[in-house]
A and B are shown apart, each in its own frame.
Chain A
Amino acid sequence: MINLDHYLKTPVSEKDIRKLKAGDLVYVTGTVITARDEAHLKALELRKEGKEPPVSFTGRGVFHCGPIMQKDDNGKWQVVAAGPTTSARMEIFQDNFIEAFKPAIIIGKGGMGERTSKACQKYGCVYGAFTGGAALLSARGIREVEDVFWLDELGMPECLWVYKVENFGPMIITIDTHGANLTADVAAKVNKNRDRIMEGMKA
């Protein structure tokens, strides 16, 4: 299932995103911004009010992640651990987010659903799965904490951390712009297996 390794630099063009196929391995260099449930909601609300979030997501990576951060002796934020959180929670507004802010790649774990897949096809975005829990491995790709927004209001896990990253990855593309969705395929197979196992279950 693993195909090719791709090294992306942000801002990534829509053309380059559309070249990716499910199963590809991707590394990102440039800017990746963390955003979870509340940050998605807040960014979308701002857009509704005709305002803009404090950082641009366009062509960049949006990372479903609530990291552990610590200030060093110079008062500068450093990443302690920063693995992906369960992306399925963002399914309810990810499509609106992709439409509104045109990120190049959504990074998370566990995969996403039909709505996100449709938005990826329409607006040229992909979903890259990073190994869940491997928070120190992913932290290795983060070079610098460029900025943080909404920290006081949303708290450490939910605010926007702006990371400068270098060869951040590998992510496996599970949703591409061509309609493929690997985790949805696996889920369909799991459901078939479930039905078969449940039918054959003895007392």
Chain B
Amino acid sequence: MSGLEKIVEDTAVELLRIAATELPIEYVEELDRMMNENSGAVGKSQLKNIIEDTYIARKDSLPMCQDTGIVAFMVKVGDKFPLRSSLREILVEATKKATEQIPLRPNAVDMFKGNTGNNVGLDGYVPIIYWELVPGDSLEIVAMPKGGGSTNVAAHRMLKPGLGIKGVKQFVVEAVAKAGSLGCPPYFVGVGVGGGEDLCMLLAKKALLRPFKVRNSNPNVAVIETELYEKLNQLEIGAMGLGEGASVIDVHVEMAARHPASLPVGVVISCWALRHAKATIGSDGLVDIDTSV
């Protein structure tokens, strides 16, 4: 293994550690604000437990939730970055190491052979890696492990185009209402529109990673985000689905062109623990870890 390969592996392990153990401060502050604004004792108690849990996790460097998720990396490879085809194997090895060192819960289950024990699937698909080729000589890695509870409440529908934006918004409301108490609210909600049956889901997942409380640069989409944020909170799901406190923390919508006959919509929901961490590695091996949201 070359020096640079080792740096990439160590960095990926570190990103998984940060993601699992350090919830971005901005999220914790928002949960704290929600707790103080929340009048109900039950809602307050749930948010207090969450905040306290994140403190212990950060202090003791332990996973904030026992469901450390299915491991995913979003990777942007600079076309002049020296490593390319070896990156998959490096990220797989990093996943195995992180599982042991942090530790993470083994969450890769083979349909025939059961839990693989190391978060790596037997068919080459897990950890999930999203590749993007970009100009430049650096490598950007985002680790985004996602828990099963909120993953299970994702929703997808191919709407009739005639239903338009209104239909999209209604579907999102329907999906989050259905998620209800099941995925550890308050939620982060990512919505993807257009692009086909698969791209809308990918856009929805990636939408979760747009910086916190930053609206879509397209003002038409930004208006929809603000409206959905207000409407989804009027559902009154509340913290942990107990009816008190905020239901959603933020809503991000991404849009792509659609086929004239299709209006695909994807809704990807994250629990309060939207875990992610990002690093940029230069071709000289310098690592810049970015823990902001």
Contact = CB atoms under 8 A, between A and B. Distances in A.
Interface of A: 1-2, 23, 65-68, 70, 80-83, 85-86, 88, 109-111, 129, 131-137, 153-158, 170, 172, 174, 182-183, 185-187, 189-191, 193-194, 197-198, 201-203
A98 to B, nearest CB: 20
B234 A68 contact: no
A157 B107 contact: yes
Most B C-beta atoms less than 10 A away, residue of A185, A193, A194:
A194
Contacts of B72: none
B123 interface: no
Interface string B212-251: 0000000000000000000100111110111110000000
25 contacts: A1-B41, A1-B42, A2-B42, A67-B105, A68-B63, A80-B66, A81-B63, A83-B65, A88-B182, A110-B184, A111-B241, A132-B184, A133-B67, A134-B49, A134-B50, A135-B66, A136-B62, A153-B114, A155-B114, A170-B45, A186-B180, A194-B173, A197-B234, A198-B170, A198-B173
A88 B182 CA distance: 7
B238 A85 contact: no
A133 B184 contact: yes
Given A68-B104, A187-B180, A129 B240 contact: yes
B109 interface: yes
A203 B182 contact: no
B126 to A, nearest CB: 15
A135 B177 contact: no
Nearest to A155: B115
Contacts of B7: none
Interface of B: 40-42, 45-46, 49-50, 52-53, 56-57, 60, 62-68, 103-107, 109, 114-115, 117, 147-149, 152, 164-166, 169-170, 173-174, 177, 180-184, 231, 234-238, 240-244, 271-273
Nearest to A130: B49
A91 B277 CA distance: 35
A81 B181 CA distance: 21
B166 A201 contact: yes
A68 B68 contact: yes
Contacts of A65: 66
A128 to B, nearest CB: 12
Contacts of B237: 186, 190
A202 B149 CA distance: 31
Contacts, number: 176
Given A109-B240, A155-B109, A193 B235 contact: yes
Contact of B66 (A1, A83, A174): A83
A137 B52 contact: yes
Contacts of B173: 194, 197-198, 201
B166 A81 contact: no
Contact of B41 (A2, A88, A191): A2
A84 B23 CA distance: 19
A147 to B, nearest CB: 19
A137 B49 contact: yes
Most A C-beta atoms less than 10 A away, residue of B67, B105, B109:
B67
Contacts of B273: 133
B272 A193 contact: no
Contacts of A198: 170, 173-174
A133 B65 contact: yes
A133 B103 contact: no
Contacts of A186: 180-181, 236-238, 241-243
Contact of B106 (A82, A156, A190): A156
Nearest to A86: B149
